[in-house]
Amino acid sequence: MIGLEVNMPKLCVMPGDGIGQEVIPAAAAVLQAVFPDLAIVEAEAGWACFQKQGVSVPDSTLAAIRECGAGLFGAVSSPSYQVEGYRSAILTLRQELNLYANIRPVQSWPTVSPRPNIDMIIVRENSEGLYSGRERIASSIPKSEIRNQELEITAVAERIITRSASRRIAVKTLALMHSQKRHKLTIVHKANVLPLTDGLFRDSVREVFNAEVQKGAEGIEIDELLVDVAALKMVGEPERFDTLVTTNLFGDILSDAASYWGGGLGLAPSLNWGDNIAVAEPVHGSAPDIAGQGIANPIAAILSGAMLARYVWGLGKEASRVETAVYNTLAAGLPSTTQGILQSILNHLH
């Protein structure tokens, strides 16, 4: 735990593309206000960086995050067609830095949430599953023929689930539940259709939690839901969720859906978390339709910064200070510009 001034945390900020350029400076300003001695370095990553340097995350950026132990990433625009040599910056960061857990809290906020009393954390396995990167055309046809509609083509993606990664996400989830006094875990999977992969995920998570119960840890209730049922409950009964742990793509989809209850993607923070290293990131994308207009909501980025304080730097009180300022800003009525929102949050910090 870091608390002394001599150990003030360091942060590597990567605004990235689109509105990342607007929301990350706002988040950095809030962190700087709360931690006057915070050392901030800036690094490049994203699609614009790829076009300039031929790589979406340069080695110098990886080195800077490793050196700081913490990063704050904005957003990345990715083309939805394949570009030779390009891989999404955030996927590269997760893989290169082994950020195997993605923590996505969703809570009710005043004036913007459609319902009160929601307070859940989605823990998304962040290193494997359908994000294994193993996608290929199985039949041997020339690349130039791929768009020929007459041809039958088989495209395959491998969905990797390992016992070690499933256990590791369970250990992270358990620690998080202990530190936040959370008592109900829901494991989300599709083991009825994928008994080998998702059965392994479910059983590995249960093993970790059961071992803990045998060690005398009390008070964690575990249930499980198939992902389609979980989606229905996310829409109809979101209050039922406390801590949810699931595989990569299910977590990706469910966390977007869940963010609706927190006031939408403009307010949804996340933390890509490994061992002694993390990159916080607003869940939203680069929003090219509103980029450059000064109207992007910086709250998701600001709350992502607060997650670094709470989880990585062990400074929960300071994180709460930021969250309370966000709360009071929303309660007072959300200003319509990025600068207006930032100013209101800074004013409410005191």
Q: How far is CA 321 from CA 74, 100, 286, 331, in A?
A: 22, 28, 27, 15
Burial of 304 (0-12, 13-18, 19+ CB in 10 A): buried
Nearest to 258 by CA among 278, 232, 277: 232
SS3 188: strand
**Is residue 52 annotated as a catalytic residue, yes or no?**
no
Out of 172, 190, 198, 311, pick the active-site residue. Answer: 190
Whether residue 252 lies in the annotated active site: yes
Query: Is residue 91 at the binding interface for ligand IPM, with CB under 6 A as the rule?
Result: yes
Least distance from C-beta 42 to ligand IPM, angstroms?
Answer: 21
Which residue in the set 88, 113, 204, 247 belongs to the binding site for ligand IPM (CB under 6 A)? 88
**Beta pairing, strands 10-16 & 39-42:** parallel
> Cα(281)–Cα(271) distance, rounded to whole angstroms?
6
Q: Which stretch binds Mn ion (CB under 5 A): 15-23, 177-185, 210-218, 248-256?
A: 248-256
d(CA 267, CA 282): 8
Query: Which of 17, 22, 44, 252 touches ligand IPM by CB under 6 A?
Result: 252
Q: Which listed option, ligand IPM, Mn ion, none, makes contact with residue 88 (CB within 5 to 8 Å by class)? A: ligand IPM
281 binds Mn ion (CB under 5 A): no
> Does residue 228 have an active-site annotation?
yes
Of the pair 125, 252, the CB lying nearest ligand IPM is at 252
Question: Measured between alpha carbons, how far is 46 from 142 in angstroms, rounded to an integer?
Answer: 30
22 vs 252, beta carbon nearer Mn ion: 252
Q: Which residues 6+ apart lie within 8 Å of 193 measured at CB?
A: none
Letters for 121-160 (x = contact with Mn ion by CB under 5 A, - = none) are ----------------------------------------
Q: From CA 347, how far away is CA 337, in angstroms rounded?
A: 15
Two structure tokens written together for 144 = 């130039």
**Residue in the block written with tokens 């300071």:** 318
Shortest distance, CB of residue 61 to ligand IPM, whole angstroms? 17
* Widest pairwise Cα distance in the chain: 67
How far apart CA 123 and CA 225 sit, in angstroms, is 15
- Provide, rounded to whole angstroms, the least separation between the CB of residue 350 and ligand IPM: 33
Please state the closest distance from residue 317 (CB atom) to ligand IPM, in A: 28
Residue closest to Mn ion, measured at CB: 252
Is 256 an active-site residue? yes
Active-site annotation holder among 37, 228, 275, 317: 228
CB-based burial of residue 278 (10 Å sphere; 0-12 exposed, 13-18 middle, 19+ buried)? buried
**DSSP-assigned beta bridge partners for residue 10:** 39
Task: Identify the H or E element spanning 273.
Answer: strand 271-273
Q: Distance between CA 124 and CA 251 in Å, rounded?
A: 5
CB of 259 to ligand IPM, least distance (A): 10
Please report whether residue 198 would count as binding Mn ion according to CB under 5 A: no
Residue 283 lies near ligand IPM (rule: CB under 6 A)? yes
The one catalytic residue in 100, 172, 198, 252 is: 252
Q: Near Mn ion by CB under 5 A, which window of 100-108, 148-156, 222-230, 247-255?
A: 247-255
Q: Specify whether 242 is catalytic.
A: no
Which of Mn ion, ligand IPM, none binds 326 (CB below 5-8 Å, type-dependent)? Answer: none
Among residues 17, 198, 252, 281, the one that binds Mn ion under rule CB under 5 A = 252
Q: Which residues bind ligand IPM (CB under 6 A)?
A: 88, 90-91, 252, 283
Point out the residues that are catalytic.
131, 190, 228, 252, 256
